[in-house]
Amino acid sequence: MREAVILEAVRTPIGKRNGALRAWRPDALYARVLDALLERSGLDPALIGDVVTGCVTQAGEQGANLGRLAVLLSRLPKEVPAVTLNRMCGSSQQAVHFAAQAIAAGDLDFAIAGGVESMTRAPMFSDIGGGFHTLNPALFQRYELVHQGESAERIAERYGFSREELDQWGYLSHKRAARATEEGRFAAQMLPLEGLDPEGRPFLLQRDEGVRPDVDYERMLSLKPVFREHGVITAGNASQVSDGAAALLLGERAKAEALGLRPRARFLARVVVAGDPTLQLLEVIPATRKALERARLSLKDIDVMEINEAFASVVLAFLREFSPDPERVNPNGGAIAHGHPLGATGAILMTKLLHELERTGGEFGLQVMCIGHGQATATIIQRI
């Protein structure tokens, strides 16, 4: 039996939109991550069978199969193929799934799976002309398609979450992320990068730019709702618009061990589900159930859970449905604090999950992400 395993994982610091990483083209940013991954692993680059890349807004500098362009900019041989995919927010988590499946099937022995998004240089929705108005009108006759922020409002309504509850989770995300940063928990997984300060002066970016160590809960409560006049979703309890990249090296376990490489985690479940395109963010619930069933585990077995914080209401709905130990959920903060560079976040969360399992000695990790138009991806890994 062939088995796909994770051998290495690295990510960039996450930059704010128009922030420290604003000068980086996304193809160059991703190429830098690919090179760092190869340097850390020591694997012969010629052994890479494919580079599978997630990217959501595939327009402008993120068009033309960005993954392949990044390969050509990296030290990978030109003979290494690459593909770029879009499963919206779950894109690079899906990239990991596809690469692992190819290895398990025997199509190749080693692959890189990752993602990149510069929401500064390729603004969200620029691939569809800036908004929903370019979608097929027939879709709106069949479904009530709404912005994800409106879906987050409806989830809060369904579960009865107050503004204070949502802001409390946002506050906790920043506090956890700040603590993890100060304790150096991200140091091993992060690739320091050249950034620009607000005045355009170069400096070395070594931490996620959006994390606020001095976050003020009272100030969060004063922020205006974004999607409804009297709503509960604000910039303080929603993910930040960001730039970033990450990549993982996957390999067939026996082949990797024969080369002296150390397998770090194996896959117990890879899941994608779809459901209601209106209340689109709640598919994390059935995705989690399906992943646990496939892995033959219960949520009590999971040591670390990374649930993408697209909106605080999504995480609170997960907590309400499953009642996990909240200390195991996003223990080092999430996208509310770090940021959410769409196509990169799946690989970033997988990188965070792997390193946190190793830091704490945990065995099982769950990653689950809500996706626009009513999908979700979920992965369960086991630390080796």
| Catalytic residue IDs | 89, 340, 370
SS3 category, 287: helix
Cα dihedral 313, 318, 320, 321 in deg (nearest 10): 140
> Does residue 377 contact residue 87 with C-beta atoms inside 8 Å?
yes
Residue 160, token pair as written in the block? 């009865």
Return all residues near 44 (Cβ < 8 A) that are at least 6 apart: none
Closest CA to 346 of 23, 38, 39, 52: 52
> Is the Cβ–Cβ distance between 58 and 66 less than 8 Å?
yes
Cβ contact 15:242 at 8 Å: yes
Tokens, residue 103: 């290895």
CA distances from residue 345 to 70, 227, 254, 292, 334 in whole angstroms, order as listed: 18, 23, 29, 22, 10
DSSP result, 201-265: -EEEE-S-TT--TT--HHHHHHSPPSSSTT-S--TTSBPPPEEEEEEEEEEEHHHHHHTT----E
Region of 260 please: left (phi>0), alpha (psi -120 to 50) or beta: left
Q: Give me the phi and psi of 303, to 5 degrees please.
A: -85, -35
Over the Cα atoms of the chain, what is R_g? 19
Rounded distance, CA 344 to CA 349, Å? 9
